[in-house]
Structure 1
Amino acid sequence: MTTYYSEEVIQSVIDANDIVDVTSGYMTLKRVGNSFKGKCPFHNEKTASFTVSREKQLYHCFGCGAGGNVITFIMEMEKLPFMDALKFLAARVNMVLPEKQNQQEDHQAYEKKKRLYELHRQTANYYYKILKTTPSAREYLSQRSISQETIREFGLGYASEDWSRLTDFLVTKGFTLTEMLDSGLVLASESKRHYDRFRDRIMFPIVNPRGQIVGFGGRLMTTGQNGPKYLNSPETPIFSKSYELYNLNHCKNFLDDGQILIVEGYMDVISLYEKGIKNTVAALGTAFTPFHGKILERYANEVIIAFDGDSAGKSATEKAMNILKKTSLNVKILNLPSNEDPDSFVQKYGQQGFLDAVAKALTIVEYELGLLKKHNDLSQTDGRLRYGNEAINVLKQLETSLEVDYYSKMVAGETGINQEVIRREVMRSKKRPDNPVQLVESTHNVVTPQKIPRAYQNAQEVVIRYCLKNPEIIDDVPIDFLTDSFYQELISVLLEKRKTGSRIEVNQIMSHFEDSKEVKKLVEFMMNEDEVSRSDYHDALEIMNRFYNEAQLDRLSEQIKRESTTGNDDEVARLTNQLIEIKKMMKENGRH
């Protein structure tokens, strides 16, 4: 696996985070012999089959097959990509990860970010305490039906109307004016006087997926107040509005069905959360970006755009929809009435009413066809024809003939145009078939996957397991006997480690494999407590040798037949000698 950090850096993070300590923070583990066991967090089970080994620093579920090291565990539990999981674990133990080539610059950059995170944490606590002592702010949240539990959950607060109250507070906490200005929470006037960015606003801490506060959003409580309704932190070394999604830190824990709702504002998120709808995120006062789309791909397989029903919301919906079209996500649109937003809708119709509306969310094609119908009078012939032509352009984006069939029938029913005419026009414009032929290079493996007997597969597994426990014998393993590319690569990695004299660490070996199935297989081998004796290992080698040689005989026989038909007697003689030698060797081994 190619990462920005060296194997040594990654290993140092792993070494500093004991896997039992980390996993026990998410589940209850009980010691059973030399291991720890609990109910698997990745699937429902009645009997504990999730095993954690402190000695091996690995986990494995014997029920669902999940497995890996402390980094893969955090990736799964926190829904983080590899690099973010590494940073999460480094931050957990206060480790400095290098970001630049100069070590001193690395440390300075790390310390600056560390101070900014702490400044934001202290500020969030400050705003939260001020809210408690400000009746008007508490009353505002109460009128919005926000409970005290939700206030605590989101760390909501209040910025007083005083010009420098936060600034004065941060000074008492030891922060410099430079640090305050870098945070964007404090500003400087032309006369060099310093004042708070946020004043007389309900405050919403913005928390990244790793649980760190990186910025704030502030909302006015009345329309008569000066300034924009919403005000956000500016871009800083730890915060970018184009990258962060509000509430992703909570939302990622409520994605059992793989669906995320995207709304426009903080209050939409919080009102839905209050009503038990917790799989919701919001962009931070800026247009939805391709970065947001990429982030959502990590967590969900379906997103529902639930923007406001007014004209601005419709415009934002189209922009977000066009960005999300380019992702692998299934995208739907919740078409709210023009006078509603998710907050007002859920307040009016409750949780079930909102969920019923979500269940009726439109596909992108349905939504786009709906927009076309609004601009064409289908009661008139020219309106129907214009709509039909425009609809065909929409249907061109469909991937399968099944979808084309379905929607062309819909358009035919709305326009009176023959369905086959619509379908033919759509298919004519498509540049490629639904199921293009995949050209696959032919292989000449000695043993093809279809011909590998179960005994041969089992023997290879025994050899691999023995090698992992006894790396000193890796030089003797005949790689040609291995039919699985994963096994071949694994032995090659182990051999390379042996040649360089490096200590063989299972976590470093894992870093060479990107395929999650291969990682799980490796962990399964390492966590298997059944002993493989030296006798088992040699028996397995004998089995592999026999099947390998039998495959060689089949290959040579086919080549001899082929060369005989062409009259190439010299080549036939050479191949026949090879075949005789292999048969002789197999007889001597008593394995014919």
Structure 2
Amino acid sequence: MTTYYSDEAIQAVVEANDIVEVVSGYMTLKRVGNSYKGKCPFHNEKTASFTVSIEKQLYHCFGCGVGGNVITFIMEMEKLPFVDAIKFLAARVNLILPEKQNALEDQQAYEKKKRLYDLHRDAANYYYKCLKTNQQGLAYLFKRGISRETIKNFGLGYATADWDHLLGYLKTKGYSIEEMMGSGLVLASENKHYYDRFRNRIMFPIINPRGQIVGFGGRLMSGEDKGPKYLNSPETMIFSKSYELYNLNHCKNYLDNGQILIVEGYMDVISLYEKGIKNTVAALGTAFTAFHGKILERYANEVIITFDGDSAGAKATEKAMNILKNTNLNVKIVILPENEDPDSYVQKYGFDGFNDFVSKALTIVEYQLELLKKMNDLSQTDGRLNYGNEAIKVLRNLATSVELDYYSKMVAKETGINQEVIRREVIRSKTNTNNNQTVEINVNKKESADQKIPKAYKKAQELVIQYCLKSPESISELPLEYLTDDFYQRLLASASERKKANGKIEINQLMAHFDDSEEIQKIVELMMNEKEVSQIDYQDAREIMKRFYNKAQLSKLSEQIKRATTNGNDDEVAKLTNQLIEIKKMMKDNGRH
């Protein structure tokens, strides 16, 4: 990945944030000698086993084994990726992060952004106070089933019908017209008359995962009011609707099951939250982007698209589905009744009714087949035949024979066409490239479902990695092709770079090259592991890796020889056979048969 900040910048953030002070903001710590102890926030325990070292500026739990530095702690507690955790900690101590490779420009950009964040916070406080004294706004929200507690939790507010009330308030707080215009909350007419963007609307602060207000959404309370039903802040230095998800700041704290519901609107999110369903986010408007998909990958394993049941909702569902199927997320889809949205549905059927409906969410393939059913009259022969032919186009994208068997049964049941006929047509419709593909053992790729890496090979790699991180001079001697996981390869490559640049490996600098939370946790575990790997154990582990690598090469060569023999390519057979003999001879010489 691209390094967002230099090693020096990351180290400055770590040094400026004392880990004891940061951790104490989330839990109670008691001093014991040169360390502090408390009950681990990452698992339930009766006896305190979570230790924070003042000297090392690291934490470690002797109960569950987690450990790391101030950055990894914030990543876990705030559910933030690595770079956002750095920004969070930098903001905590008013540290300016380098963005433009120019100190003066960085200072100016930092000040502008800080003023914008402050301005949005003051504007949110203003809107909130206006709502508390506005009976029309409160009555609207109460009628929609929103409690005072939820109003407070989301910081909901009200923009008065006046043209310049917010403008006047922000002036009293010391903000200039230029700053107000830069926020997008104030506009100017052609004759330079300044006025509020949001008027006579319920206001929804948009808060990023770091807890900063970056923009607003405003909703009209009546269909008789003029203007669009929803109005969002424009793009600014601190806000882009393509990069923000509404309620992610709350949602990230309610993901015990690794599942996020995606809905369309602010009120959908808030109504579901009010009923106890808190793992929801909404894209701002219809702007669901590939970047949103990447953000969701950081927080969840599964997403459920739960858009409105009308035609607009169906189009938005298809757009989001096509983006999300290119991620590593398990994607499911809820089809609400035509005149329902998540807000109205949960109001009618409550927590249990909504969750029961969501539990029946469809997979992408089931959803596509359901759409095909609606487009074809299955009571008619031509409708069933057309449905069958179109369904085959959907099924040919399936990855496994298990999926093909499951869904071909489903199509057979709907059409009356024999399941084996459907299976054959699906396989026949696949490209020749897919038909002729041969599975080969490739030890340079991550383990797949069809290729199991022996436990001894995995253990040997872990020992070698652990040894290399403690003794980085050994990295150059290790053939990287012995490693089956590209994460290990990237880790050692980064460690080698750090060693060449600084003469040693700093965990903070090493983590700067990774933004996947699981990978970073693995780095922490490897670096914090106090068990020493001896040179003898290291050499043994290398020999094990070499043996398994050579076995994989033999298997690969055997397959290639079979294909070359079938094709009558005698020269290729001879060449490959010589390679196979050489590897066997080497293995025998090493006494590793």
- TM class, shorter-length: 0.7 to 0.9
Q: For 1:408 and 1:546, how far apart are their aligned partners in 2? A: 50
Q: For 2:462 and 2:320, how far apart are their aligned partners in 1? A: 51
TM-score scaled by structure 2?
Answer: 0.81
Residue matched to 1:102? 102
Residue 436 of structure 1: CA displacement? 5.5
Residue 340 of structure 1: CA displacement? 0.9
* AA at the equivalent of 2:157: G
What per-residue deviation string (whole Å, max 9, x for no partner) do you get for residues 70-108 of structure 1?
Answer: 222222222222221111111111111111122211111
Residue correspondence of structure 1 range 498-509 to structure 2 within 5 A: 505-509=506-510
The answer to whether the 8 A contact 1:401-1:434 is kept is: no
Q: Structure 1 residues 280 and 547, CA, compared in 2 at 3 Å: closer, same or farther?
A: closer
Q: Which moved more, 1:52-61 or 1:298-307?
A: 52-61
The answer to whether the 8 A contact 2:465-2:492 is kept is: no
Q: For 1:99 and 1:219, how far apart are their aligned partners in 2? A: 35
Please list every run of 5 or more consecutive structure 2 residues that lacks an aligned counterpart in the other structure.
445-452, 547-585
Q: Secondary structure at the match of 1:368?
A: helix
Residue correspondence of structure 1 range 310-329 to structure 2 within 5 A: 310-329=310-329
Q: For 2:321 and 2:497, how far apart are their aligned partners in 1? A: 48
Q: For 1:396 and 1:140, how far apart are their aligned partners in 2? A: 50
Residue matched to 2:552? none
Residue matched to 1:53? 53
The answer to whether the 8 A contact 1:202-1:220 is kept is: yes
Q: For 2:374 and 2:540, how far apart are their aligned partners in 1? A: 73
Q: Which moved more, 1:428-437 or 1:326-335?
A: 428-437
Residue matched to 2:439? 437
Q: Structure 1 residues 191 and 515, CA, compared in 2 at 3 Å: closer, same or farther?
A: closer
The answer to whether the 8 A contact 2:464-2:541 is kept is: no
Q: For 2:436 and 2:250, how far apart are their aligned partners in 1? A: 39
Q: For 2:356 and 2:212, how far apart are their aligned partners in 1? A: 34
Seq. identity, %: 69
**How many pairs align?**
538
Residue matched to 1:561? none
What per-residue deviation string (whole Å, max 9, x for no partner) do you get for residues 553-574 of structure 1?
Answer: xxxxxxxxxxxxxxxxxxxxxx
Residue matched to 1:37? 37
Q: Secondary structure at the match of 2:15?
A: helix
Residue matched to 2:308? 308
Residue 517 of structure 1: CA displacement? 7.5
The answer to whether the 8 A contact 1:460-1:482 is kept is: no
Residue matched to 2:148? 148
Q: For 1:370 and 1:489, how far apart are their aligned partners in 2? A: 43
Residue 449 of structure 1: CA displacement? 9.2
Q: Structure 1 residues 62 and 374, CA, compared in 2 at 3 Å: closer, same or farther?
A: same
What per-residue deviation string (whole Å, max 9, x for no partner) do you get for residues 357-413 of structure 1?
Answer: 000111111111111111111111111111111111111222111111111111111
What per-residue deviation string (whole Å, max 9, x for no partner) do you get for residues 302-331 of structure 1?
Answer: 111111111211221122112212111111
Residue 336 of structure 1: CA displacement? 0.8
Residue matched to 2:185? 185
The answer to whether the 8 A contact 1:481-1:545 is kept is: no
What per-residue deviation string (whole Å, max 9, x for no partner) do you get for residues 39-82 of structure 1?
Answer: 33334444443332221122223343322222222222222222
* AA at the equivalent of 1:153: N
Please list every run of 5 or more consecutive structure 1 residues that lacks an aligned counterpart in the other structure.
443-447, 469-473, 553-574, 583-592
Residue matched to 2:173? 173
Does residue 236 (structure 1) correspond to residue 240 (structure 2)? The answer is no
Does residue 332 (structure 1) correspond to residue 332 (structure 2)? The answer is yes
Q: Which moved more, 1:54-63 or 1:142-151?
A: 54-63
* AA at the equivalent of 1:438: E
User: Which protein has the larger Cα radius of gyration, Structure 1 or Structure 2?
Assistant: 1
Q: Structure 1 residues 266 and 220, CA, compared in 2 at 3 Å: closer, same or farther?
A: same
The answer to whether the 8 A contact 1:60-1:524 is kept is: no
Residue matched to 1:126? 126
Q: For 1:335 and 1:491, how far apart are their aligned partners in 2? A: 47
Residue 2 of structure 1: CA displacement? 4.6
Q: Secondary structure at the match of 1:403?
A: helix
Residue 248 of structure 1: CA displacement? 0.5
Q: For 2:379 and 2:539, how far apart are their aligned partners in 1? A: 78
Q: Structure 1 residues 491 and 35, CA, compared in 2 at 3 Å: closer, same or farther?
A: farther
Q: Secondary structure at the match of 1:215?
A: strand
Q: For 1:269 and 1:280, how far apart are their aligned partners in 2? A: 6
Q: For 2:380 and 2:466, how far apart are their aligned partners in 1? A: 75
Residue matched to 1:221? 221
Q: For 2:398 and 2:333, how far apart are their aligned partners in 1? A: 17
Residue matched to 2:278? 278
The answer to whether the 8 A contact 1:258-1:299 is kept is: yes
The answer to whether the 8 A contact 2:466-2:527 is kept is: no
Q: Which moved more, 1:302-311 or 1:72-81?
A: 72-81
Residue 429 of structure 1: CA displacement? 2.3
Q: Secondary structure at the match of 2:158?
A: strand
* AA at the equivalent of 1:24: S
Q: Secondary structure at the match of 1:276?
A: coil
Does residue 292 (structure 1) correspond to residue 278 (structure 2)? The answer is no
TM-score scaled by structure 1?
Answer: 0.81
The answer to whether the 8 A contact 1:75-1:85 is kept is: yes
Residue 267 of structure 1: CA displacement? 0.5
* AA at the equivalent of 2:403: E
Q: Structure 1 residues 239 and 526, CA, compared in 2 at 3 Å: closer, same or farther?
A: closer
Q: Which moved more, 1:366-375 or 1:431-440?
A: 431-440
The answer to whether the 8 A contact 1:19-1:70 is kept is: yes
The answer to whether the 8 A contact 2:298-2:516 is kept is: no
Q: For 1:4 and 1:165, how far apart are their aligned partners in 2? A: 40
Q: For 2:396 and 2:346, how far apart are their aligned partners in 1? A: 36
Q: Structure 1 residues 514 and 95, CA, compared in 2 at 3 Å: closer, same or farther?
A: closer
Q: For 1:229 and 1:390, how far apart are their aligned partners in 2? A: 38
The answer to whether the 8 A contact 2:267-2:343 is kept is: yes
